Amino acid sequence: MYQEGNGVEQNLEESVRLFRHAAERGHAEAQCNLGSCYAEGNGVEQSWEEAVKWYRMAAEEGDVDAQYNLGWCYESGKGVQQDVKEAIRWYQKAAKQGDEDAQERLKKLGVGD
């Protein structure tokens, strides 16, 4: 709610605080959301390394959005050394869960899911 300003005044710092609270307790969706905050610099100083850290935690728990985002980080070299094979690995995990964006990335990389 705080991130988007739905029903409350938008407060990115408060949304980060709440995401972090849940993320540190293992909530995968909150981990992914916190990763996105770092990727975009919403409520925190922008840091691809921190984004990757949180995306990885969520991706390893099976969060499809985090798997796609982590794949994109590897493909583009954001926060990690560029590694197309690792990008493909994460895209495939997301694609197997039905993520259409991951399926498209795999096609563009010339890989079946």
For 41-96, the DSSP string reads: TSSS---HHHHHHHHHHHHHTT-HHHHHHHHHHHHHTSSS---HHHHHHHHHHHHH
CATH of the domain at 17: 1.25.40.10
The pLDDT tens digits of the residues spanning 72-105 come to: 999 999 999 999 999 999 999 999 999 999 999 9
State residue 99's pLDDT score: 98
Res. 13: pLDDT tops 60: yes
Output b/e per residue, 88-102; b: 16+ Cβ within 10 A.
bebbbbbbeeebebb
Mean pLDDT over all residues of the chain? 94
Res. 48: pLDDT tops 60: yes
DSSP, res 92: H
pTM of the model: 0.91
63: in domain: yes
Rounded to whole angstroms, the Cα distance separating 20 from 53 reads 13
State residue 113's pLDDT score: 44
Burial (CB count within 10 angstroms: exposed 0-12, middle 13-18, buried 19+), residue 112: exposed
Domain range enclosing 52: 12-108
Which band of pLDDT confidence, cut at 50, 70 and 90, is reported for residue 53?
A: very high
2: in domain: no
Res. 39: pLDDT tops 90: yes
Which band of pLDDT confidence, cut at 50, 70 and 90, is reported for residue 40?
A: very high
5: in domain: no
29: in domain: yes
89: in domain: yes
Number of structural domains in the chain: 1
Within 13 A of 79's CA, how many CA atoms are on the CB side?
23
